[in-house]
């Protein structure tokens, strides 16, 4: 894994491109300020008569008109469907509204779907594109930090089931990802911090220098320094693109991207989807996973404290909600990474090195109980 040169200057100016190399399914992630207003980065998208923008009630008033105007120069008919906002709506009834919009407007299998929003919109739009007429192109236009650094890249698409997060879905790659970092200015502080959880995870699993850089710059990131935000989007995408290019369907290496997520998904399911933001649950989950790494003798003492300090500075929880350890374990056993009921955890074997393995229930419970309120 390529590591970060801490002396490397922050790149400003023209938009940058990070390639996701997947043969015939390869695509670019374009990162820059003001992309929604810059026609040059929208050329070469799949051709069609129809384009359908999928967004939510929060994002639509901010950016839907601008994207509609941009797409009107490329497509004869641009349609818009606006969904309710929140993780609780990442379900079948809400997904049906996308299919309703496509069918009611006579959209064919060349119709291009545009996911304008955060991770929920990106996941649902991608899944709709994978399913509609057995596959139609889609483009990610992420407007949250979490979506720009993680969920918009890699082709994981899904909806939730009451018994588990992202349990119904498909691997389906976008035609392009367009990260307009100017949209991060309209995020709430809570949403920005939630995105930082997915940024922080890349240090422990892949890049020690990036973790050190984050420790030096986390305050500037929370203050929304545009150059710092753009840099973390690019670096996060570089790491994720490398992993996805090596393991598109999570048969091995890609699982490391789920550091903190096994615990985090259990928090989300246990509290009810939407009670905590995804990044908040992952943040507390990373502390638990780091604790388990230390208990198993994989990581040296100090990892938990180091991560917890950074996570707290990012404005994120370092402790999970007070759920019984047995409830955590029950939700973990329906996690996608579980095998025959055997829970698989992403653990840290030294900063920059992640492993996937199981652990005894009593040890997992001890890590949960040590970091729950």
Rounded-to-integer distance, Cα 323 and Cα 365, Å: 11
Q: List the catalytic residue out of 250, 268, 280, 294.
A: 250
336 labelled catalytic: no
Q: What angle do CA 119, 333, 370 make, to 5 degrees?
A: 85
Q: List the catalytic residue out of 230, 265, 295, 371.
A: 265
41 labelled catalytic: no
Q: Could you count the other beta carbons within 10 Å of the beta carbon of residue 22? A: 15
Q: Domain residue spans in the chain? A: 16-186, 190-370
56 labelled catalytic: no
- Position 3 scores a pLDDT of 46
274 marked as part of a ligand binding site:
no
Give DSSP secondary structure letters for 61-130: IIIIHHHHHHHTTT-SEEEEEEEPPSGGG-SHHHHHHHHHHHHHTT--TTPEEEEEESHHHHHHHHHHHH
- Position 205 scores a pLDDT of 97
CATH architecture, domain defined by 190-370: Up-down Bundle (1.20)
Q: Check: pTM over 0.85? Answer yes or no.
A: yes
278 labelled catalytic: yes
- Position 216 scores a pLDDT of 97
Q: Using a CB cutoff of 8 Å and minimum separation of 24, what contacts does 223-226 make?
A: 224/184, 224/185, 224/192, 226/33, 226/181, 226/182
Give per-residue pLDDT as tens, 92-142. 999 999 999 999 999 999 999 999 999 999 999 999 999 999 999 999 999
Q: Tens-of-pLDDT digits for all 373 residues of the chain? A: 444 455 444 455 679 999 999 999 999 999 999 999 898 999 999 999 999 999 999 999 999 999 999 999 999 999 999 999 999 999 999 999 999 999 999 999 999 999 999 999 999 999 999 999 999 999 999 999 999 999 999 999 999 998 888 999 999 999 999 999 999 999 999 999 999 999 999 999 999 999 999 999 999 999 999 999 999 999 999 999 999 999 898 888 899 999 999 999 999 999 998 899 999 999 999 999 999 999 999 999 999 999 999 999 999 999 999 889 999 999 998 876 677 678 999 999 999 999 999 999 999 999 999 999 8
Task: Say if 16-186 and 190-370 have the same CATH topology.
Answer: no
254 labelled catalytic: yes
> Which positions ≥6 away from 94 have C-beta within 8 Å?
83, 84, 124, 159
Residue 269 near residue 164, CB atoms below 8 Å? yes
Residue in the structure block whose two tokens are 């469907």: 81
Q: Is 96 exposed, middle or buried (0-12, 13-18, 19+ CB in 10 A)?
A: exposed
Rounded-to-integer distance, Cα 169 and Cα 161, Å: 10
Rounded-to-integer distance, Cα 80 and Cα 102, Å: 10
Residue in the structure block whose two tokens are 């500075």: 313
Give per-residue pLDDT as tens, 252-291. 889 999 999 999 999 999 999 889 999 999 999 999 999 9
What CATH number does domain 16-186 carry, 3.40.50.1970, 3.30.70.20, 3.90.1010.10, 3.30.450.20?
3.40.50.1970
Q: What angle do CA 78, 79, 80 make, to 5 degrees?
A: 130
Rounded-to-integer distance, Cα 328 and Cα 262, Å: 9
């Amino acid at each position: 894994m390529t590591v970060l040169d801490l002396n490397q200057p922050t790149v400003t100016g023209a938009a940058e491109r990070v390639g996701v190399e997947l043969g015939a399914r390869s695509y670019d992630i374009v990162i820059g300020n003001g992309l929604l207003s810059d026609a040059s980065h929208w050329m070469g998208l799949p051709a069609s008569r129809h384009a359908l923008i999928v967004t939510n009630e929060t994002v639509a008033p901010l950016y839907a008109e601008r994207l509609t105007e941009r797409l009107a120069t490329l497509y004869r008919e641009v349609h818009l469907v606006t969904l309710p906002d929140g993780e609780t709506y990442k379900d079948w009834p809400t997904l049906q509204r996308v299919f309703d919009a496509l069918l009611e407007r006579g959209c064919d299998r060349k119709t291009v779907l545009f996911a304008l929003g955060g991770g929920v919109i990106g996941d649902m739009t991608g899944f709709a594109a994978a399913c509609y007429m057995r596959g139609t192109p889609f483009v990610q236009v992420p407007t949250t930090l979490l979506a720009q650094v993680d969920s918009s890249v890699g082709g994981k698409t899904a909806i939730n089931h009451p018994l588990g997060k992202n349990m119904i879905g498909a691997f389906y790659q976008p035609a392009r990802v367009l990260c307009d970092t100017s949209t991060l200015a309209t995020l709430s502080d809570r949403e920005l911090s939630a995105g930082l959880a997915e940024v922080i995870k890349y240090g422990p699993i892949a890049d020690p220098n990036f973790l050190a850089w984050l420790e030096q710059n986390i305050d500037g990131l929370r203050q929304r320094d545009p150059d710092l935000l753009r840099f973390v989007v690019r670096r996060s995408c570089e790491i994720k693109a490398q992993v996805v290019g090596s393991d598109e369907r999570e048969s091995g290496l890609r699982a490391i991207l789920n550091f903190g997520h096994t615990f985090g998904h259990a928090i989300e399911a246990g509290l009810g989807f939407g009670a905590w933001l995804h990044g908040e649950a992952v943040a507390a989950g990373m502390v638990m996973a780091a604790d388990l790494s230390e208990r198993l003798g994989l990581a040296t003492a100090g990892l938990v404290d180091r991560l917890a300090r950074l996570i707290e500075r990012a404005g994120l929880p370092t402790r999970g909600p007070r759920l019984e350890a047995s409830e955590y374990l029950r939700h973990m056993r329906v996690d996608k990474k579980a095998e025959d009921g055997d829970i698989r955890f992403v653990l840290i074997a030294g900063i920059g090195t992640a492993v996937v393995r199981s652990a005894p229930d009593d040890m997992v419970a001890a890590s949960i109980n040590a970091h729950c309120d």
